[in-house]
Amino acid sequence: MSGYNLRFAKRNCPDMKIYLAPMEGVVDFHMRNILTAVGGYDYCVTEFVRVVDRLLPSRVFKRICPELEHGGLTASGTPVIVQILGSDINAMADNARHIAKLGAPGIDINFGCPSKCVNKNDGGAILLKNPHRLYDIVRAVREGVAEAVPVSAKIRLGFDDTDLALENALAVAEAGASFITVHARTRKDGYKAPARWEWLARINQALDIPVVANGDINSVEDYQRCIDISACEQIMIGRGAIARPDLARQIVSHQHGLEISELDWAEVKEMLAGMAIELQDHIKDRYILPRIKQWLVHLKRQYDEAHRCFESVRLMRSYAEFEQLLKNS
């Protein structure tokens, strides 16, 4: 390893970009289609594909990212970056090379997953304990794919504490990453508020690659405070995007000094119906209601009507009941 250090001088990042974050079991390709159709997103990132010690077949990546069958784009034309998670250097490089050949617009490496099961099996945030391992994995992936294919990594501020936050970020940068996404919490923090945006500022100052800010961006006001504190020009939103399906579009309007118009409940209800219809083509009816209920739980943070809808849907046992509710409401 060449010895990462604080020699990087901050450069001006390219224009602002908004990424849709992966959320296991929530933001899959169905949700990507719906949210990117609303507008505002420059890129999406898939849920992670677990890499162990061998090359995975194409069908595994296409199951997580069906967009690979369509040039790596959602139906509305938003590029989808494929995320991988693992610690075997050769297997990570081999799978990254295969993903690139399948046409992925980019490859992201997950060093942030806080799951105990994942960490116990030497994946995700556990690797934040050793910056050298981050460097080696990113370097292997970077060297394994063509220079034109962006390679990025997502990290947290650390495992139990922030002692290695800068060192980890610098390891990723020196290994050749195109950009880095930083969830401004440690693994120990889980998803508890508040995200520590001041740490993003320190990392942003130290690196010469774009730093994508992630964590607690749930409104236009949150976005503005985050970039004011962090000086990041790029952001990734997850839970905020599910609660406010037009959050990215609102932020873009804010950036350009335009009037911000918010989706009303009637429009959101149409999106719920659209989700249910799309799911019918891919999963059995009995699995559709749980997905709708799951989304409603997030929507309740923003829409009073979602509370009432959830109470109606919560006790339903069939998709037909939900269809009837939509017709009558």
As annotated, the active-site residues are 113
* CA dihedral sign of residues 208, 212, 215, 220: positive
3-state secondary structure of 160: coil
Please say whether the beta carbons of 56 and 68 come within 8 A: no
Q: How far is CA 90 from CA 127, 135, 275, in A?
A: 16, 14, 39
Residue 1 DSSP class = -
Q: How far is CA 299 from CA 76, 245, 265, in A?
A: 23, 9, 10
How many other CB atoms are found less than 10 A from the CB of residue 283? 13
Structure tokens at 206: 């130290």
Cis upstream peptide for 210 (omega within 30°): no
Phi-psi group of 98: left, alpha or beta (phi > 0 → left; psi -120 to 50 → alpha; rest → beta): alpha
Residues 147, 175: Cα–Cα separation, whole Å: 13
How many other CB atoms are found less than 10 A from the CB of residue 139? 21
